[in-house]
């Protein structure tokens, strides 16, 4: 992958680029460039062939790069539309605002990833919707398969404010009952609630025959406690504080996090739910490729 394409997958680099739509486009284009130069080049993420332009064809489907080479108009011939409807469920609770100095807060990483996933789906002519939740379902956008949907989704994502506690059980139950047609559910959350509640919430969708993929988004310092010295734990949802020394608890802390994430992964697998642990310093291609594998299996 070219260095420039690699940069477009670095969370800190792309977070400084400005408008969310631009960021999503650059991330996805950088990702696709990497796919074409990798063992995974067989993945189709846009179209399969070309045909000559015919009167009545939409001009937006003209391949202008091919025109520059051939001086002839060709239309991108897409694969038959699958009419998949995807729903991005973004956790906007207060704990998602956490981020250590020098790294992206979890909510910003989740927003950038959600926008990139939306852009990738819309390029594939899939419908994309969005739900922002914390203590309640705070915002819901029904799925649409038009590229103009990107502006709607970007506006909602850019205005996301993290507040309140996480209450996924009643919210996911409501959404599972609202979404009648089988679809793809993409959850982006730090999952900082009781593990049993997390699993019960996700199973609502599996029970309704939806496909589910979970991006468990954590700060690197949450995955592995930083070195030695004084540590102050701050629960951003309950405002509780706990002061301790890293050297006293690091080994036990790291072990417990591994146990928790391994358990979530195993129990999600049992329910046919895809689980991806992602830290906020992880390049976006890892998450996008995990998603693309899931999308390919749906046909």
Q: What is the pLDDT of residue 115?
A: 96
Q: State how many domains the chain has.
A: 2
276 is a domain residue: yes
Cα–Cα distance between 71 and 259 in angstroms, integer? 59
What's CA 130's distance to the chain center, in Å?
11
In a domain, 53, yes or no: yes
Are 102 and 219 within one domain? yes
pTM: 0.79
Structural domain ending residue among the three candidates 36, 58, 78: 78
Return the pLDDT at 15. Answer: 79
Asked if residue 112 and residue 56 are part of one domain, the reply reads no
**CA gyration radius, the chain:** 20
Within a domain: 110? yes
Determine, yes or no, domain membership for 139.
yes
The verdict on 67 and 144 lying in the same domain is no
Quick one: which of 160, 85, 148 has its CA closest to 121? 85
Which of 188, 212, 225, 196 lies closest to 271 in space, CA to CA? 212
Residue 168 is assigned to a structural domain of this protein: yes
Same domain, 227 and 260: yes
Residues 92, 110: one domain?
yes
Shared-domain flag, residues 165 and 232: yes
Question: Does residue 141 sit within a domain?
Answer: yes
167 shares a domain with 105: yes
Q: Is residue 152 part of a domain?
A: yes
**Domain carrying residue 61:** 48-78
CA angle 122, 105, 288 (to 5 degrees): 30
- The closest of 139, 135, 81, 79 to 114, measured between CA atoms, is 139
Determine the pLDDT at residue 7. Answer: 59
Query: Length of the chain, please?
Result: 299
Domain CATH for 226: 3.40.50.410
Q: Do 222 and 246 reside in the same domain of the chain?
A: yes
Q: What is the pLDDT of residue 17?
A: 78
Residues 248 and 108 in one domain: yes
Q: What is the mean pLDDT of each run of 10 residues along the chain (299 residues)?
A: 57 81 86 58 46 67 80 64 82 92 90 95 91 94 94 95 91 90 93 88 90 95 78 64 70 90 94 93 86 72
In this structure, the answer to whether residues 154 and 58 fall within a common structural domain is no
Residue 129 is predicted with a pLDDT of: 96
Please check whether residue 222 lies inside any domain of the structure: yes
Of 36, 8, 33, 12, which Cα lies nearest the Cα of 22? 8
| SS3 sequence of the chain | CCHHHHHCCCHHHHCCCCCHHHHHHHHHHHHHHHHHCCCCCCCCCCCCEEEECCCCCCHHHECHHHHHHHCCCEEEECCCCCCCEEEEEEECCHHHHCCCCCCCCHHHHHHHHHHHHHHHHHHCCCEEEEEEECCCEEEEEEEECCCCHHHHHHHHHHCCCCCCCCCHHHHHHHHHHHCCCCCEEEEEECCCCCHHHHHHHHHHHHHCCCEEEEEEEECHHHHCCCCCCEEEEECCCCCCEEEEEHHHHHHHHHHHHHHHHHHHHHHHHHCCCEEEEEECCCCHHHHHHHHHHHHHHCC
pLDDT of residue 161: 93
Look at residue 40 in the predicted model and tell me its pLDDT: 42
Task: Say what angle helices 195-207 and 168-178 make with each other, to 10 degrees.
Answer: 0
Contact 219, 103 (CB under 8 A): yes
**Same domain (yes/no): 108, 160:** yes
Give pLDDT, residue 181. Answer: 85
Q: Could you tell me if 134 and 61 lie in one domain?
A: no
Closest CA to 88 of 45, 122, 135: 122
């Amino acid at each position: 992958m070219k260095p420039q394409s690699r940069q477009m997958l670095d969370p800190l680099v792309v977070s400084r680029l400005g408008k969310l739509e631009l960021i999503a486009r650059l991330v996805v284009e950088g990702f696709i460039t990497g796919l074409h130069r990798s063992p995974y080049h067989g993945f189709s993420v846009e179209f399969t062939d070309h045909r000559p332009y015919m009167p009545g064809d939409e001009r937006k489907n003209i391949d202008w790069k091919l025109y520059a080479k051939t001086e002839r108009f060709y239309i991108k011939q897409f694969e038959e539309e699958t009419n998949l409807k995807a729903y991005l469920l973004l956790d906007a609770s207060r704990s998602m605002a956490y981020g250590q100095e020098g790294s992206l807060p979890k909510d910003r990483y989740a927003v950038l990833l959600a926008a990139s996933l939306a852009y990738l789906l819309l390029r594939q002519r899939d419908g994309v919707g969005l739900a922002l939740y914390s203590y309640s379902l705070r915002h819901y956008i029904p799925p649409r398969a038009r590229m103009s949907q990107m502006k709607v989704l970007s506006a909602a994502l850019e205005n996301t404010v993290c507040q309140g506690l996480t209450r996924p059980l009643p919210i996911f139950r409501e959404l599972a009952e609202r979404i009648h047609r089988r679809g793809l559910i993409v959850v982006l959350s730090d999952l900082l609630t009781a593990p049993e509640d997390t699993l019960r919430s996700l199973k609502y969708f599996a029970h309704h025959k939806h496909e589910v993929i979970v991006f468990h988004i954590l700060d690197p310092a949450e995955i592995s406690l930083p070195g030695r010295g004084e540590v102050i734990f701050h629960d951003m949802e309950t405002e509780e504080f706990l002061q301790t020394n890293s050297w006293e608890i690091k080994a036990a802390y790291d072990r417990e996090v591994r146990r928790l994430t391994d358990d979530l992964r195993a129990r999600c697998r049992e329910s046919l739910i895809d689980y991806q642990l992602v830290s906020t310093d992880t390049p976006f291609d890892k998450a996008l490729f995990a998603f693309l594998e899931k999308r390919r299996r749906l046909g």
